[in-house]
Amino acid sequence: MNTDYSNKATNEEIRARFDRDVERFSNLDTGQATTIDAPITMDLCTEAAKYANPDATQLLDIGCGAGNYTLKMLEKVPNLNCTLNDLSQPMLERARERVSAQTSGSVETIQGDMRGLELPDGQFDIVLAAATLHHLRDDADWEAVFGKIYKLLKPGGSFWISDIVQHDAPLLEALFQQRFADHLEKLGGAELRKKVLDYVAHEDTPRSLNFQLDLMKKGGFRYTEVLHKNGNVAAFGGIK
C-alpha cells in the first residue's frame, strides 16, 4: 500500500500530547473514555488473557499509557512481572507508580516507539496493546510489529488488542465514523467531539479488523478471536 503519511503526526507530536494528558488516562473505571465501550473491551481483553494464560508470570503492555490495562490484568492474574512501554515518559512514570503498588513482581519501563522494542524472544505469556497500534503507518510497520510480538510470546502465550479500526467498505467507514462522532458529542459536547476528531485525523492510521486478524494468522498464531466490536472499536487477539 503506497500511501503518503507525510501529513500525519510525528512521534514527537504524539508524545507531547500524551505528556500533557496523563490524568485522563489514569481512570481505571473508564479506561480511555473517548473510546466506545472502553470498560467492556478492557475487561474482555484481560479476561481472555486470564483464561488463555492462567499461570502467566510475564506481561508486556505496549503503549501502556498510565497503566490501566496492566492494573486490570493484575486484578485477574496477580503479581505478574510487568514490562511497560510507552512513548510518553510522564505516562510511564504514572504507570510505574500505580503498577508497583499492585504487584510483588518486577516492574520495568521502556520509553520509546514500539517498533524499536528490543526484548528476548519467548519472554512473555501475555502481550496487551490498547489504543496504540493505530499509530503504525505503512504495511511494513504493521507486519514488523505483529511479527515482533509473535516472537516475544512464549508458546501458548497470547496477544490482545483493543483499538479503533478502519472499515474496508467506504460507506460502512462513513457510518461508523458518524457513530464515533455521536459518541464523543454525547460524552463531552461539540467541543470534545472536535478536539478528538481533530487529533485522530492528524495522528491515527488504523487498519481494518480483517487486516489485523490476517496478519496474526499469517504470522503463525494458532487461534484468533474477536471478543467485541462496536462502531469503530474492536477487541480481539490471538494465541500462539
Report pLDDT digits (tens) over 28-38: 876 678 899 99
What is the rounded distance in angstroms from the CA atom of residue 66 to the CA atom of residue 68? 6
What is the rounded distance in angstroms from the CA atom of residue 125 to the CA atom of residue 20? 32
More reliable by pLDDT, 217 or 9: 217
Residue 2's pLDDT is what?
A: 62
Domain boundaries of the chain, sorted by first residue: 11-165+206-239
Average pLDDT in the 22-33 region? 80
What is the rounded distance in angstroms from the CA atom of residue 193 to the CA atom of residue 186? 9
| pLDDT band at residue 206 under the 50/70/90 scheme | very high
Average pLDDT in the 63-70 region? 97
Mean pLDDT over the full length of the chain: 95
CB 108 within 8 A of CB 85: no
Reported residue count of the chain is 240
Domain 11-165+206-239: homologous superfamily in CATH: Vaccinia Virus protein VP39 (3.40.50.150)
Number of Cβ within a 10 Å radius of residue 20: 11
Average pLDDT in the 121-131 region? 98
